[in-house]
Amino acid sequence: MAVIVKKYKVRSNKIEYNVGEIVEDLSIEDEEMLIEKGYCSRVDDEEADDEEVADSNDFDLSKLNIEDAKKRIQSIDDIDQLDNLLEQESSGKSRKGLVEFIETTILEHQAK
């Protein structure tokens, strides 16, 4: 099952999820606790799949620390999306380590 974050932020497996993001890697007990406290609500599988596609294509790097941003970027295979993230980071916080990581990731995908 999956939950969507409704309030605050949820951290799971060292990844921080913001309001509106889908979290799928929680235990049933953790999901129930977050729902009970009002931090999250349950989503059905189809909604989770739709939201997951939207989230993976549109997230704000400025809200992530470098480690979490790198984890999200590693799961992206689309060079256009990586280019967009590079532009977003370069015109935003412009963190040298993250810019270099995105550039290297793009080069690796282009070499395939």
Count of domains forming the chain: 2
Closest to 46 (Cα-Cα) out of 12, 1, 89, 107: 1
Per-residue confidence (pLDDT) for residue 44, from 0 to 100? 65
User: Is a pLDDT exceeding 50 seen at residue 16?
Assistant: yes
CA 72 to chain centre: 5
Strand pairing report for 40-43 and 2-5:
antiparallel
Does 6 lie in the same domain as 49? yes
Residues 21-46: pLDDT tens digits? Answer: 888 878 889 889 889 988 888 876 44
Strand pairing report for 2-5 and 10-12:
unpaired
Per-residue confidence (pLDDT) for residue 45, from 0 to 100? 45
Structural domain range at position 8: 2-57
Does 70 lie in the same domain as 51? no
Residue 110: which pLDDT band, with cuts at 50, 70 and 90? very high
Please tell me the pTM assigned to this model: 0.52
Q: What residue has token string 């282009």? A: 110
